[in-house]
Structures are given as structure tokens and as C-alpha cells.
Amino acid sequence: MAPPANRRPTYSRRAQYGTFIRYVVAFAGLFAGVLLLIVSLGDGASFAGMRGAASDVVAPAGQVSAKSRAETRGLLATIGGFFTYGSRVARMEQELDAARVALAEAEALRRENAQLKDLVKLSQVDPRALVVTRLIGSTGSSTRRFATLGAGAQQGVRPGMPVRSPAGLVGRVLETAQSSARVLLITDSESIVPVRRARDGVAATAIGKGDGTIQLKLIAQGINPLKPGDAIVTSGSGGLFWPDTAFAVVASLTPDGAIARPLSDPGSTNYVEVQPVWIETAIPGAIPAEPAPSGGK
Amino acid sequence: MPLTLPAALRELGKRRINRVPSPVLAWSVPWLLVMIGSLSPLLPLIASAPVVPPMGFLFLIAWLQLRPGLFPVWAGLPLGLFDDLFSGQPFGSAVLIWSIAVIVVDFVETRFPWRGFAQDWLLAAAAFAGCLLGGLVLANMAGGSSGVLTIVPQLIVSIFAYPLAARLVGALDRFRLIPIREL
């Protein structure tokens, strides 16, 4: 149906101007959106203050929802546990016997390792968790992959710090507010992490694909040595991320590398820890072997 | 199956003589629902892929089609601004996309005033496709590099979530118009 020729609802001038001004404001809003976009595309951190304040305000609600996420998962696991109790006890007893043997061997290896380290005067610094907290939200409806952390500048969280869960690397802190922080997840298409194969150290860079998987690009060109199932850990080169943090498992191969699945599923982790930045604290004054990974503003 | 209100709420609206809906409730419920939808990044779900439909946008489109003229045609500006605070998209993208959506729905409303739910759903599906595609393009301009296929699952979920959102909006529409204020 064609719109009526006369769009004036009434003879009142006031009402007619009101309708007109509403449309003027609507199109002004459209152009305001364009302007805001130009500013924020020019400098991604330009509205960080506003975003941070907003996420600080809603952080308590996020904490509650994060807690309920953990409890729901726990409840389902408990119910499931009743049905598989007997077989699991039997299996665990077997595993316990095997583990006792492995533990004894590991103890011997540890001693030997310490002796060898003393020999070459190598000091290993383990990353100490700066803050242990929860992920209280994520941008599930955007193609960008950010999560919100339940700790911020007050707890000592600074931009650039790596975030990991017990299962592996989760991402790094992008911007901080007073009591919350925004984390760039490793699956975001702007996240670049230097990694290597755990077994032999084949170096690669890991770039998120935005859909929950990670693209591994080998640094050395040539025959692709990766195999599905290979474990990938961070290499620590370039600083920022601590070396040997569990990262991903190769799922399928591509001509220049592989597609990998991240080991840490941020949705199923209860707590994450924020670590200090690798170079600054571990080897004071060390010069990075290669420029720091770009990405993120 | 029509949604029935809880008994306490039904009692609330029983006495209708000499009563009108509360203007505060009638006015604030639509805006609040869209803003609550925009808070969906706080859901107890940490997604490693975009799968959650844009809830705020879903509710906005549902309200626009259920009650044309309830939201002013400039509603995309304030609501989009609020959505941008939490969505993770580059700031201003929801202001732009939501403003365009409200203006387009207003245009369709004057051209095709009588629509069935199927046409509403079709328009909503087109709006979601435009919103998600626009959001993808803007996010990629801001430094991302995701492919178009990334948003396909989310688009499908959004399209199938629309009837549910329309149901919820319909129920809240009845709730906000319960005559509780005595004249």
C-alpha cells in the first residue's frame, strides 16, 4: 500500500512540527552513530572510560551470574556422578596405582632436573598469580571476542597481563576499569600469540578466527610438520605471555599451518588467574628476541 | 498457547472501573526490556564464538512491530548508545545500526500498515541479517578479521528466537497496560 499523500495527523501546527522534529532527531542520531564510529575506529581506547564505568556498575550482577554458572555445572556433574559411580571408582583405583609409580619416577626426575639446572646456573621463575577471579561476562552476540573480568585496576590488574585458567591460556587484559577489566580472548581475530609445539618447539603464531577456533601459522616455511592432536604451548617469545602455558590442540591441517582448538574453554572455567607480564618481572632488563606481538589498541 | 499471567497479577487488573494504567509502568517497561536485553553479555555464559542473538535488538524490533508509534523514531540513538557500552562492538555501531533499523521499520509501517505475523517475522529476519552483517563489517574495520560464515549460526538462532521474543513482548505489553492507578 502506498503511504497516504497527506502525512499530517492533525491541523495543529505544534503536532506537525513535533512529528517533523522527531524525524530530524532520528536522522541526527544516525549521523551521531557515524561520528562515534569514526572516533572509535580511529582510536579504539577512546570510549574505554565510559565502557569501564558501565561494566563497573553491572559487575556485581555479573558476579552473581558467574557463580550460578559454576553451581549449575556442579549440580549437573553431581547428578551425573551417581550413575557412573561404580565404574569410576574401579577406574580411579587402577589410575591411582599407575600414578604412584609415575610419582616416584617424577620425584627422581625432579631431583635430577634440579641438579642439572644447578650445573648450568639456570634459574626458573614460575609465574605467580597476581589475582584469582572470575570471568563475569562475554560479548556473546558480537563477532569480537571479549570477556569481562571481575577484578580491575584496584586489584592491580594492568593492560597487557596474561589471563589463564587451570586448563590453559584464556587471553590478555585489554583495558581496565576500577573493579572490572576487559579481556581479549585468544579466539578473537585480533589476538596474536607466539606459540610452539610442546614436543619439539616448532614455532608458530596463533591468530584467533572469531568462531571459537585458532589459526596456527608456522614461522618456518616448508613441509608442514604439524599433526592433528599435537599439543601447542605458548613460547614466550616477544614477552607478554609466560612460556609453556597450555594453549591449544591441533584439530585439522591447512597449507600454511593448522586449525587448533583452545584448551581452556572460558565458559567452563570457574576461576581464572591474572599473571604479571612475562618480560618485566621475570628477566629484568632482558631484550626481547623479536618485537612484541601486535594487535589490540 | 496464549501466555497467561500469574494469579496475583490477574487479580491486580480485576478491578477496572475508575482505573487507568500507570503511566510510569506503561512508558518504562518497553525501554527497560530493551536495555535488559542489551545486558545479555552478563548472562552466565562465556561464549568462545558469537552464538547469543543480539537480545536488545530482538526486543526492540518486537516492540516496534507490536506497538507502532510506541517508541519514537529517534529511539535508536539512546538505546544503541546503551547497547554499545556492553556489546564489545566498536563504539557507535549500535547507534548507527539501530537508528537505521528504527527508521526502516517506521518506513515499512507507513507503506504496509496491515501485516500478519509471518510478514513481521520476515521483516525481523531481514533486520537481523542487516544488523549482524553490519556489526561484522564494523567490527572488522576496528581490527577484527572474521569471515561472513562466523555469523551464520547466530543469525539462525536470532531468527528462531524472534517468535519467543515477540511472545515475551506481548505478555509484557499486557502487563504494562494493567489498570492499577485509581482515578
pLDDT of residue A48: 78
* DSSP states along B47-82: -SS--S--HHHHHHHHHHHHSTTSS-TTTHHHHHHH
User: Inter-chain contact B48–A139, Cβ cutoff 8 Å?
Assistant: no
- How many CB pairs below 8 Å do chains A and B form together? 216
Question: A296 vs B1, which has greater pLDDT?
Answer: B1
Q: How far apart are the first and last CA of chain A?
A: 49
pLDDT over 90 for what percent of chain B? 50
Angstrom distance (rounded) from CA A186 to CA A208: 6
Q: What is the mean pLDDT of residues A184-196?
A: 88
Q: pLDDT (tens digit, 9 = 90+) per residue, A254-270?
A: 888 889 988 887 766 77
Q: pLDDT (tens digit, 9 = 90+) per residue, B45-71?
A: 666 677 788 999 999 999 999 998 899
Nearest to A54 among B48, B86, B114 (CB): B86
Mean pLDDT of chain A: 79
Q: What is the mean pLDDT of residues A26-47?
A: 84
A6 Cβ neighbours under 8 A, 6+ residues apart: none
pLDDT over threshold 50, residue A192: yes
Nearest to A211 among B89, B141, B146 (CB): B146
pLDDT over threshold 80, residue B127: yes
Domains of chain B: 7-182 (1.10.1760)
Q: Which residue has the cell 612460556?
A: A243
pLDDT over threshold 90, residue B140: no
Angstrom distance (rounded) from CA B66 to CA A106: 67
> Which strands form A168-176's sheet, in the order they lie side by side?
A131-133, A272-274, A162-165, A168-176, A181-185, A146-149, A135-138
pLDDT over 70 for what percent of chain B? 91
Q: Which cell is A213 given? A: 577456533
Alpha helices in chain A (DSSP H): 13-42, 48-83, 85-120, 278-282
pLDDT over threshold 70, residue B37: yes
User: Inter-chain contact B95–A297, Cβ cutoff 8 Å?
Assistant: no
Q: What is the dihedral of CA B33, B38, B41, B43, to 10 degrees?
A: 10
8 A C-beta contact, residue B45 and residue A68: no
pLDDT of residue A40: 82
Give the lowest-confidence range in A69-78, A231-240, A247-256.
A69-78
Angstrom distance (rounded) from CA A160 to CA A176: 10
CATH class of A131-282: mainly beta
Q: What is the DSSP letter of B44?
A: S
User: Inter-chain contact B139–A1, Cβ cutoff 8 Å?
Assistant: no
Angstrom distance (rounded) from CA A269 to CA A262: 13
Please list every residue in chain B whose beta carbon sits closer than 8 Å to the beta carbon of residue A72.
44
> Hey, of B46, B59, B95, B102, which one would you mutate to test binding to chain A, going by the most A CBs within 10 A of its CB?
B46
Closest chain A residue by Cα to residue B71? A22
Going from N- to C-terminal start, the domains of chain A cover 88-124, 131-282
Angstrom distance (rounded) from CA A214 to CA A170: 12
Q: Calculate how close chain B gets to A18, using CA atoms only, in Å.
A: 11
Please list every residue in chain A whose beta carbon sits closer than 8 Å to the beta carbon of residue B138.
37, 41
B96 Cβ neighbours under 8 A, 6+ residues apart: A30, A33, A34, A36, A37, B80, B134, B138
User: Inter-chain contact A54–B90, Cβ cutoff 8 Å?
Assistant: no
User: Inter-chain contact B144–A143, Cβ cutoff 8 Å?
Assistant: yes
pLDDT over threshold 50, residue B102: yes
User: Inter-chain contact A39–B91, Cβ cutoff 8 Å?
Assistant: yes
pLDDT of residue B129: 95
8 A C-beta contact, residue A2 and residue B75: no
8 A C-beta contact, residue A168 and residue A262: yes
> In degrees rounded to 5, what are phi and psi of residue B123?
-60, -40
Q: Which helix (H) or strand (E) holds B122?
A: helix B117-141
Please list every residue in chain B whose beta carbon sits closer than 8 Å to the beta carbon of residue A28.
74, 77
Q: pLDDT (tens digit, 9 = 90+) per residue, A74-111?
A: 666 677 777 777 888 888 888 888 888 888 888 888 88
Closest chain A residue by Cα to residue B149? A211
User: Inter-chain contact B151–A143, Cβ cutoff 8 Å?
Assistant: yes
Q: Which helix (H) or strand (E) holds A134?
A: none
CA atoms within 13 A on the CB side of B14: 7
pLDDT of residue B40: 84
